[in-house]
Each structure stands twice: as C-alpha cells, then as structure tokens.
Structure 1
Amino acid sequence: MSIKSFVAKIFAIYIRKKINKWANDPHRTQEKVFKELIETAKHTRFGKDHDFQNITSHSDFVNKVPVRDYEELRSYIDKMVEGEEDVLWPGKPLYYAKTSGTTSGAKYIPLTKESMPTHINAARNAILCYINDTGNSRFVDGKMIFLQGSPELSEKNGVKLGRLSGIVAHYVPAYLQRNRMPSWETNCIEDWETKVDAIVDETLREDMSVISGIPSWVQMYFERLIDKTGKKVGEIFPNFDLFIYGGVNYEPYRSKFENLIGRKVDSIELFPASEGFFAFQDKQGEKGMLLQLDSGMFYEFIKADEFYDENPGRLLLHEVEQGVNYVMIVSTSAGLWSYNVGDTIQFTSLKPYRVMVSGRIKHFISAFGEHVIAKEVEEAMQEAVRETGAAISEFTVAPQINPEGDELPYHEWFVEFEREPEDLNKFADIVDTSLQKQNSYYFDLIKGHILQRLKITRMPRNAFQEYMKSIGKLGGQNKLPRLSNDRKIADKLYEII
C-alpha cells in the first residue's frame, strides 16, 4: 500500500465521523443553516425587500419569501450581473455558472466564496466515503479522468463565468493534479467530438483507475477507445475499478457499460447542480444519496402532485415521507432563496435522509392525465432489460396524441438498442405492464381504452448523439430528457432517422 493510499484511508475515517455527526442530528443542523442564511443576508437588497430582519421561524419565511424559479428571481440576478453588490448575498459572487435556459437564454447562477467550497468538499467526501465503506483506496495511485466542460472562463463586470464543471476544474487539489487527466489544453477544446478523440489519444496508454462523467458521454469515450484498439475498456485499463457519475440515472446504462468494460466496476452516484451539490452516494449497499444538510443549503419540499396548486404546502425534513414525489426547494449561501431547482426527488431513507432523483417537474407525460414521471419509465425499462437480456444505449418517450386512422393514442418510446431483444413485442409488453403497475392513472387509461399499449420506435446507432449535436448540446453536462409532454423531440428524431 502506497503512502497516498494509506493517508486516504485515515482521512476517510475522519471525514466519515464528521458526516455522521450532522447526519445523525439533521433537524438541528438544518435549523442552524437556516438561521445563518437569514442573518448573513438580512442587509442585502433581497433581505430588505423580504423583511429578513423579522424572520425568526420557517412560517415567517414562508409568509415573506415565495417560491421562485430563475425567471422569477431574474430581476435580482440581472442587477448582480450588471455589477451591483449586496443583492442576493453580501458582496459580489466569485463566479457565475452559465447554463442554458429554456425561456430566458443563458442563465447565470451565482457561486460565492461561501458556497464554492461546498461543491468541492462534497465531491471529495463522496470518494472518501467510498474508501471508508469498501476499504478500497488503490485507485488513488492511478490516473483519474473527469469528462467535463472547458475550464476556460470569461468575465462579466469583474466576475468570472463559465460552465460549472469548468469552474470546478480550477479547484482540483494539488495532491490530485499529477493524477488528473486530460491535459489542460485538451480540456479546453470546445468541440466535443474533437475533444473525445484527443482524450482517447492522451489516455490510451495511461493507468486509468477512476473515470467520471455523465454516462451518455462516458459511453461515447468508451466506444471510441474500443473502436481504436479492438479491446474492451477493462482490458485497456486493467486497474480501472471506479466509475463516478451524476446527472442521470445510471441503471439504464449499466448492462451496456459492463459490456463495454468487460466486467463490473464499482460506482458512486452524485447529485451536483449549479445551484448546489445536493447529495452523494455514501454507502455502496444503500439505495439513494445522502442529502447534504450542513453545506449552506436549507431545504423545503413540495409534493409534486400539489406543486401547481395555489398555495402548496412547503414541508421541512421532519414532515417528509418515503416514496413520495417531491419538488426540491433550496435556499443557499450563494443567495438563492426558496429556489425551485426543477428536480423532483423521493426519499429512500429517513434515518439518515437519503434521496434519489425521480425526474424534473417539467419533464413528464400527462397528455391524457397519466402523470408519468422519469423514475417510472426508467424502472420499466430496467425491468424489460433484465428479463430479456437486451441492452440499450439511450431512450426517450413522447405521447402520440393523433395517430393515423382509427388507432388509439399511445406513448411512443424511441430506443437505441445496443443489443436488441429476441422478441420486441415481449419487450414492449414488459415495459408497458411495469408502467401500469407503477402508475394507476396509466393503468386506468389502458384498461379504459383511452390509450393503447406503448409502441417502440427503433433508433439507429448514434441517433441520439446526432440529435444532441443538432441542438448544440453534444457532450459536457448536457442530458437528454427521458420524457416530454409534447412531440418536439420526437419530431426532430424523425427528421434524423
């Protein structure tokens, strides 16, 4: 065992004890965070506008601070971007994480000197918890690659801005710099396909032990490696034994990855976003990710099926239940207040609080009142893959409201298979039956002959990559929506095929 590997194990024990301390005292931890946030921001423009001076309880907060999304908070953020200080948080931000907005063009999410360390520490702690849980620290001696956006930053009125993954690249600890891949020059390549080819060339002969990124783009990297060498990834990198991912559910990709690698490897799931690093998988044998309660973020939860009601309840941790779909609302040390991140989560454990991402509040199918969410379609797909031995590369779902002739409407599943099932009809039946079991609304619509059974449209190889490329979102942190309530993506896919 190397000195670095030994030190990592000792440090992992220390960090795990610190995490256990706040995880085992969640309500007091969150109360402390709440009070610190309010006290720190009470003299800001936002704090004065919302009478922070007289907020002493969560009920006060609910009465004075409504839930907002980016568009509703934009008037404040625009003032910050223009250079004004003390708007949402004291002083100016350190950075703006620039993301793609659907209705507002570019979005500028502030990162402050108080919030930035929480992103870095959570990523570090996820790895240390893995070491503490498994005893495996061998990988710290090998090379590590993080497939991410360009670290090149621009500047706006004295504040640097760029993609979150690019900003984080500036904070890689010194003890990891020698192990980190790819090179700075390669990481700065903007064109994703050119970048992946350069990464393949740089890493091909390296001792890669950790690979991290969004599964769909890591898959592209793996396929390029195999195309170049004719070997499985696990053969190219015999010491590769840890995959770190976030952004999407890994399960639909797992069998495909195991085939590309040639064996199973451990994985760690992360829940990062520009607004905060919300959770990470702290134990291999537990379902869900540990919610970060001491990282300058105060959480509220609204039941997803009540979210669009006039005055939905804003619940605290002690009021949540397992298995219920919630919209997650955060207030943070970056100056976001009762902010709707857009993600929906479900609690998998209440002692400690662990969550899984179930989808996006705006990503669903309810063209007929079925309220189908991402978690349900992913679980249905996983069941069909397990039972048939098929393997998929990617998929998305859309409603077909106006089919030809006298056909009943249906859900259309666009699937790119890595390995097709022997019987596609049986595969579709398994998916549909699973969805009916999970979703009573969908079950009633099928049984009532309002909808017919879903239909699968096979997609050619790399069709989804072509789609993402066509909308300017190939690679990086971009993700394909699992499902849509309209035909915009579906129509574009038909153009491609």
Structure 2
Amino acid sequence: MLSIKSVLAKPFAKRIYNSVQKWANNPIETQQHVFKNLINQAKNTQFGKDHDFRTIKTYDDFVNRVPIRDYELLKPYVDRVVAGEEHVLWKGKPLYFAKTSGTTSGVKYIPITKESMPFHVESARNAILLYINETGKSSFVNGKMIFLQGSPIMKTQNGIQVGRLSGIVAHYVPKYLQKNRMPSWETNCIEDWETKVEAIVEETLPEEMTVISGIPSWVQMYFEKIHKRTGKNVGDVFKNFNLFIFGGVNYEPYRAKFENLIGRKVDSIELYPASEGFFAYQDKQNEKGMLLQLNSGIFYEFIKAEEFFDENPKRITVKDVEIGINYVMIISSNAGLWAYNIGDTVEFTSVKPYRIIVSGRIKHFISAFGEHVIGKEVEQAMQEATHDTDIRVTEFTVAPQINPENGLPYHEWFIEFENEPESLSALAKKIDESLQNQNSYYLDLIQGNVLQPLKITKVKKDGFQEYMKSIGKLGGQNKIPRLSNDRKIVEAFPHSSLYN
C-alpha cells in the first residue's frame, strides 16, 4: 500500500516538471534574463567596478570587459573574500566556502552565496521529481536512502563556514527526508573513508534501502563490502533497491560491474554537481545527456576545446552551440564567479532542450604526440571493447609511454579487472580499434608508424584504492583522472599495485 508521502510525491513532481518545461522551452530568453540579473546585482561589487559592469548592456560588452579566468587568475579576488572583505565578487559575504583540492592551486575556496545555495539543493531534488513524473515510480520515497558523501563538519574562517560541498549540502536535507536518510549524522562525520564505509555497511545492512547515491567508484567499494559481508548480491540484500543516483564520473565503465554486484539492472539518474554550481541532471531515462540548468543563476559560455589555447578563442552562448562539438564550459554565477573556467569539457547531445554530457577535463587529455585524445573517447573505447563480454573493469587510467625500451611510443592503459579477459592483447586490439575509429589524429599516428597500438598493464585488486590512499585522497568527491598527458599519476602508484 502506498504511503501518504509517495502519493503526494506525484502531484508535486508534476508541478515541478511543468515549471522546468517553462524555462527549458525558452532557453535563450532565460539565459538573457539570468545574464542581466547577474550584471545588475554585481555592478557595485569590487569586481563589478573593476570591470565597469555599469556600462555592460550586451553580451559583447561583457566579452570585451571580462576575460576568461581560472581559479589561479581569480585568486587575488577570492583571497580578499577569504580574508573577510565584503562586496568583492558578489554582494556581502558568501555563506560558505566549498573547499576543494585543485591540481595546480593546492586548496581552492569556492564561494557559495545566499543566492546560489538554494540551486544546489533544488536541482538534486528536481532530478528525482522529474524521474517520478516520467516513470510514475514513487514508492522508493518510503524506504531508506543513502548518500555517500563527505563529512558535514564545518570550520569557520573570518565569519564564513568552510567545508566540502557534499558536507555543506547535507545541512539542507528536507525535513520530510530526514527520517529516511542514511547514514546517521555520527557516521557521516567520520573522516577516515575506510572506517566510514565499514560503519555505513553496519548501519544499512538491517535497513530497507531503496535509493543509493554517490560517485560510482566509492559506491562500488560499499557494494563490495556488502557482498563480502553477506555473500549475497546487493539486490538480494536490499530487495527494494531500484534507483542509483550518481555524479562525478561517467557511469558506463562501471555499469557491467555494478549490475553484477547488484544482480540485476536498476534505474539510474546522472547528476552534474560541482562546488561552482549544479550544472545539469538527467531529465529523461531514455535520452542521452543531462538537462543544462539555464535558470539557476548561472550564465554559460562555451569555447571549442580545440581553440581554447589559442591567443583569442571565440566565446559563444547557448544560442550558437552545436551538437557533438567538444566545448570548454565557462560560467558566470550568483556565487560571484565571472567568465570562470571550471576545467570541464562538455558536448551537447540535444539543443531542444539543451542536454550535455561531460566529455572530460581540458587539462586531462593525451596529446603527447598530437593525438588530442579526450576522456570521452577512452571511456567509449573501453565500453565498446567490453560490451557483450564477461570482462568487468573496476577502474582504469591512461598515460603516454614516450620512451619505451623497445619499439615505438604508445598509450599505456592501467586497468584493474574484476573479471579478466582471456587475452589481454585481444582486448587491447579492440580498444585500440575503437580509439582509431573515434579519433582521426590517433589513427594517422598509428598508420604513420609514429605510435604503436596501445598496451595494457594490469593493476592488482584494490590497486587504485591503494594509490588514492597513498596520496591522501581516498573517498569523498575524489576520483581518478581517466587520462593524463604525462606519467605523474602512474609513477606515483605504489609499486606493489602493478603487475604484468
């Protein structure tokens, strides 16, 4: 019998769906409204004065006044906000700093304001409500839901609370979900990730889990511990678990292993949250891509990835994007980020409405030989090579081998298998063929005998976890880059993790 909660969820879901359709069906006007509102609200800030916001009337004015910046270039302004100064990037002071670890900047402090915070919460909620509206499934709201995330413990710095994004969001769980939500507050506050996952297993085993959410690589660790403890598939332990919500990385490389651990297929919803904003979520079960959030206080710009490092790359808005092009996404937001390069690359899968997939990181690519291979291509190659096989991959990363002892250079794929292939060389051949089909530069280098086909190096079980632990990044929102343009990651691997 349906409870009151699940019955009420359906009309609420319908109402939210209708409100989302209004802005999704009027994307250009919606973004123009967001743009004007942002400029108007920030014109008296220090940044607004420095960039003459009062005279900005058009998008071209904005492009001429405000250059693209990454965190390093915006840091002089952020440092002033961190020091407690008001009205620097946005009016007043931020409510929070989301603390993240940057690859080049060390610790990054990303502001979250009174105006931007609600969208972090509403977007995640709306993703679930659109799923209910589309599928008619709502009984899961009566069961227990787990969100694998960072600690909600905050520190205060000059009157501003500092924490991990997922920990900040944990303070905003709606009251109607509080009783259903797991793990407990005490368990969520455990800092050591392995200890935390063990505690989560203890707490959840007796419960009726219906929704499980988190970054796939860390949910996988939780599933493996459940399986080890019980000897059962996760789907047999939690008979009513039918919805997996994830973000942070592409799920496809994990899908086969997850379905094996669960013992059946479950519905999934993909999210695209970041400290800088909640950018997109999956709005349809059978459509590729996530709905770009155009009405969330964020104004979007895009630069073709292949032009990004040119001296003066062309900046465009959603009005001029094309399907299938790899773009660097640039945002300006009501958190006080302006023409800010978040570092991600995206591709549009649809422009009616605007849906995107995350194709990689602008700094995470391999072009040691001019091949311009990106994250989406290596993930697709792995997916195609293992499709309809018993091969299951736990984790992988790719690096160039520029100076091999014998023969031509090549791409080296470091792969941890759950189920190994009968022949590594046959798998390598399939992956390589897929990569050549996707990337003409790579194909030319192989055919021109500049590169030899890729090679696979096996990583022992839990080798990637050992690596993440060795660099102090086990758990939370941390994830392995799919590929790098150098060998820093693979050279930092504990030597015991690799075997041939």
TM range (shorter): over 0.9
Q: Residues 403-418 of structure 1 correspond to what in structure 2 (within 5 A)?
A: 403-405=404-406, 407-418=407-418
When structure 1 is superposed on structure 2, of 97-106 and 231-240 the one drifting more is 97-106
SS in 1 for 2:483: coil
Q: Please tell me the residue identity of whatever aligns with 1:300.
A: E
When structure 1 is superposed on structure 2, of 415-424 and 163-172 the one drifting more is 415-424
Q: Residues 217-296 of structure 1 correspond to what in structure 2 (within 5 A)?
A: 217-296=218-297
Could you tell me how far 1:161 is from its partner in structure 2? 0.5
1:144 counterpart = 2:115:
no
Q: Deviations over 1:40-97 (max 9, x none)?
A: 0000000000000000000000000000000000000000000000000000000000
Aligned to 1:63: 64
Contact 2:466 2:494 in 1 (8 A): no
Q: Please tell me the residue identity of whatever aligns with 1:431.
A: I
Aligned to 1:310: 311
Q: Please tell me the residue identity of whatever aligns with 1:446.
A: I
Task: Give distance in 2, aligned partners of 1:397 and 1:80.
Answer: 38
Could you tell me how far 1:103 is from its partner in structure 2? 2.3
Q: Please tell me the residue identity of whatever aligns with 1:424.
A: L
Aligned to 2:362: 361
Task: Give distance in 1, aligned partners of 2:222 and 2:496.
Answer: 22
Contact 1:152 1:166 in 2 (8 A): yes
Q: Please tell me the residue identity of whatever aligns with 2:248.
A: G
Task: Give distance in 2, aligned partners of 1:332 and 1:244.
Answer: 25
1:194 counterpart = 2:195:
yes
1:9 counterpart = 2:23:
no
Task: Give distance in 2, aligned partners of 1:104 and 1:396.
Answer: 23
Task: Give distance in 2, aligned partners of 1:320 and 1:411.
Answer: 32
Could you tell me how far 1:144 is from its partner in structure 2? 0.3
Contact 1:414 1:456 in 2 (8 A): yes
Could you tell me how far 1:471 is from its partner in structure 2? 0.6
Contact 1:38 1:52 in 2 (8 A): yes
Q: Please tell me the residue identity of whatever aligns with 2:473.
A: K
Task: Give distance in 2, aligned partners of 1:329 and 1:103.
Answer: 19
Q: Deviations over 1:93-141 (max 9, x none)?
A: 0000000022222110000000000000000000000001111101000
Q: Deviations over 1:343-383 (max 9, x none)?
A: 00000000000000000000000000000000000000000
Q: Please tell me the residue identity of whatever aligns with 2:309.
A: Y
Task: Give distance in 1, aligned partners of 2:105 and 2:243.
Answer: 38
Aligned to 1:153: 154
Task: Give distance in 2, aligned partners of 1:134 and 1:427.
Answer: 37
Aligned to 2:185: 184
SS in 2 for 1:144: strand
Q: Residues 39-50 of structure 1 correspond to what in structure 2 (within 5 A)?
A: 39-50=40-51
Task: Give distance in 2, aligned partners of 1:408 and 1:304.
Answer: 28
Q: Residues 440-455 of structure 1 correspond to what in structure 2 (within 5 A)?
A: 440-455=440-455
Contact 2:244 2:268 in 1 (8 A): yes
Contact 2:330 2:341 in 1 (8 A): yes
Q: Please tell me the residue identity of whatever aligns with 1:411.
A: H
Contact 2:470 2:494 in 1 (8 A): no
Aligned to 1:485: 485
Aligned to 2:211: 210
Aligned to 1:26: 27
Aligned to 2:176: 175
Contact 2:289 2:355 in 1 (8 A): yes
SS in 2 for 1:290: strand
Aligned to 1:476: 476
Could you tell me how far 1:491 is from its partner in structure 2? 1.2
Could you tell me how far 1:495 is from its partner in structure 2? 2.0
Task: Give distance in 2, aligned partners of 1:493 and 1:160.
Answer: 35
Could you tell me how far 1:423 is from its partner in structure 2? 2.3
Contact 1:388 1:427 in 2 (8 A): no
Contact 2:300 2:331 in 1 (8 A): yes
Contact 1:271 1:278 in 2 (8 A): yes
- What is the root-mean-square deviation of aligned Cα atoms in Å? 0.7
Q: Deviations over 1:123-167 (max 9, x none)?
A: 000000000111110100000000000000000000001000000
Q: Deviations over 1:8-42 (max 9, x none)?
A: 11100000000000000000000000000000000
Task: Give distance in 2, aligned partners of 1:103 and 1:394.
Answer: 24
SS in 1 for 2:493: helix
SS in 2 for 1:107: strand
Contact 1:466 1:496 in 2 (8 A): no
Could you tell me how far 1:425 is from its partner in structure 2? 1.6
Task: Give distance in 1, aligned partners of 2:81 and 2:317.
Answer: 30
Identity across the alignment (%): 71
Task: Give distance in 2, aligned partners of 1:216 and 1:227.
Answer: 17
Query: 5+ residue gaps in structure 1?
Result: none
Task: Give distance in 1, aligned partners of 2:453 and 2:222.
Answer: 36
Aligned to 2:338: 337
Task: Give distance in 1, aligned partners of 2:106 and 2:243.
Answer: 36
Task: Give distance in 2, aligned partners of 1:184 and 1:120.
Answer: 18
Task: Give distance in 2, aligned partners of 1:232 and 1:205.
Answer: 15
Q: Please tell me the residue identity of whatever aligns with 1:89.
A: W
Aligned to 1:322: 323
Aligned to 2:349: 348
Contact 1:398 1:487 in 2 (8 A): yes
SS in 1 for 2:261: helix
SS in 1 for 2:469: helix
TM-score, normalised relative to structure 1: 0.99
Aligned to 2:433: 433
Task: Give distance in 1, aligned partners of 2:56 and 2:327.
Answer: 25
Contact 1:347 1:353 in 2 (8 A): yes
Aligned to 1:101: 102
Q: Please tell me the residue identity of whatever aligns with 1:98.
A: K
Q: Deviations over 1:402-422 (max 9, x none)?
A: 0003x1000000000111122
Contact 1:467 1:496 in 2 (8 A): no
Q: Please tell me the residue identity of whatever aligns with 1:462.
A: D
Q: Deviations over 1:261-314 (max 9, x none)?
A: 000000000000000000000000100000000000000000000000011000
Contact 2:328 2:362 in 1 (8 A): yes
Task: Give distance in 1, aligned partners of 2:314 and 2:8.
Answer: 47
> Could you list the runs of 4 or more consecutive aligned residues of structure 1 that deviate by over 4 angstroms after TM superposition?
none
Task: Give distance in 2, aligned partners of 1:383 and 1:208.
Answer: 32
Task: Give distance in 2, aligned partners of 1:96 and 1:343.
Answer: 20
Could you tell me how far 1:387 is from its partner in structure 2? 4.4
SS in 2 for 1:388: coil
Task: Give distance in 1, aligned partners of 2:64 and 2:326.
Answer: 24
Q: Please tell me the residue identity of whatever aligns with 1:466.
A: E
Query: 5+ residue gaps in structure 2?
Result: none
Aligned to 2:387: 386
Aligned to 1:162: 163
Number of residue equivalences: 496
Q: Deviations over 1:179-231 (max 9, x none)?
A: 00000000000000000000000000000000000000000000011111111
TM-score, normalised relative to structure 2: 0.99
SS in 2 for 1:493: coil
